[in-house]
A and B are shown apart, each in its own frame.
Chain A
Amino acid sequence: SQQGEEDPQALSIQEGENATMNCSYKTSINNLQWYRQNSGRGLVHLILIRSNEREKHSGRLRVTLDTSKKSSSLLITASRAADTASYFCATVSDTGRRALTFGSGTRLQVQP
């Protein structure tokens, strides 16, 4: 079963525009992570935000976390064609099985 659900499922933008992806999850968490996957390749970690943090930046990435709404967003600014990929949020529950559980992903297409 999926812990997180990303929204939208697919997103198509022009180069230079910003891309925003949202993630909702169900249980209380220890941390939330975002990963990127190029088509058919392995996942690459982008950024981690802990449950006591509200916002984090890394280069052109900005992640927010709202634990009261059980949601997170990933913003990619000034997108490039090379950002075309699927993006997944993943959570670590603070109870029960502490595995990293992935959402269903957002497919981002950046048009040059």
Chain B
Amino acid sequence: TQLLEQSPQFLSIQEGENLTVYCNSSSVFSSLQWYRQEPGEGPVLLVTVVTGGEVKKLKRLTFQFGDARKDSSLHITAAQPGDTGLYLCAGAGNQFYFGTGTSLTVIP
């Protein structure tokens, strides 16, 4: 059972466009992480957010943790082909719960 729903499930955009990926749950998490996974590899951590309302920026990526610590968003500015991959949110509770995933394709 995956407690975290991500939207959209698939996203195909042109290079230079902006996009936002959402991660929603009815459960509260002590922390939330975002990972990126490329084909044939394991997920790689991008960021961890801990405090409700927290915003973190990583170059062109902006991550936000909801005030109630139930949801999060990832915004990418001026997407590049190298951003292509499967984006996963993951929440820490009694276990580590991964989201359903968002497959992003950036077309040159």
Do the two chains belong together in a single complex? no
